[in-house]
Amino acid sequence: MNIPPLPKSAAFIHLANPRGFCAGVDRAIDIVSRALDIFGAPVYVRHEVVHNKFVVDSLRDRGAIFVEELDEIPDTDSRNRPSIVIFSAHGVSQQIREKAKLKGFKVFDATCPLVTKVHLEVTNFSQSGRECVLIGHAHHPEVEGTMGQYDNSSGGKIYLVESVDDVQTLQVQNPERLSYVTQTTLSMDDTSKVIDALQEKFPLIQGPRKKDICYATQNRQDAVKQLALECELLLVVGSLNSSNSNRLKELAERLGCEAYLIDSAEDIEPGWFLDKSRFGITAGASAPEVLVQEVVARLKEICQQEPVELKGAEENIVFSTPKELRA
């Protein structure tokens, strides 16, 4: 890649704050890492522990084995111990939990506590005889896990909607006893429109006491809104299968800022910088800071300028790891 440097003082770089890892991602990666330290390889992880290629490849190199189905995991390891199984940060259904228990695995749960909050809301709605609408993206593992918390044995249902159009065609069995929850990594603006549509169509619908979109998703979207006002081009560090990273890119584009989702500095294309001088960098909640700094270094070469870090929300949330994995 050959990008000629821009004339000095002709360009500037803004760095989003906050960006990158959230508390749930930190915790999930730490659980896999500590399990490898304590029990040794292999450690089996159902689904990618977080949606980032660099993180997954790094853990795979240490002996983590990522699977999509529990049937891919042997009941015991080479020393005849129960296999170590870790649920990803996105969470799993009750059916998956029961199957892991029946197979006798030693399970560590890396589900983000904020996803667990949504799971408990769905369980409570189900147990109280309320139907539930989940706002989320079909086939996303978090959505599959959340849908799988609802017990429909008593005749109730959980419904999935992604858009206002979905709400218009939604038919429920009991609109008088209806609730909603959301995926934690959605666009705040889009979700607000879907909630408004639900409340208009089903006036008695009830939502969670506290919103389900997580603090990190909100803070990173707020930072992008600030960047989009200052920049012509935004680079979002994150993997293609990262929901929250994709939402950052889409938000910037919606605000009129050209944006690209990249796994690393190696993905940067020369043509992106033509006729532009104001650049921004952010990262999704599953992207490590080391990748951000590589992108920063590349843009410093191009712009011949030091980046300016914008002020943003301070994040000091920490989620604890399971007792058995603590030092």
Residues with catalytic roles: 142
Which of 101, 96, 110 has its CA nearest to residue 64? Answer: 110
Q: How many CB atoms lie within 10 A of CB 209?
A: 6
Q: How far apart are CA 202 and CA 173, in angstroms?
A: 12
- Which residue intervals of the chain are DSSP H helices? 23-39, 53-62, 94-102, 113-127, 141-147, 164-169, 188-201, 215-230, 243-254, 289-303
As to burial, measured by CB atoms within 10 angstroms (0-12 exposed, 13-18 middle, 19+ buried), residue 167 is buried
Q: Look at residues 82, 81, 37, 89 and name the one whose alpha carbon lies nearest to residue 63.
A: 37
Closest CA to 265 of 243, 283, 245: 283
Q: Is the peptide bond before 322 cis (omega within 30 degrees of 0)?
A: no
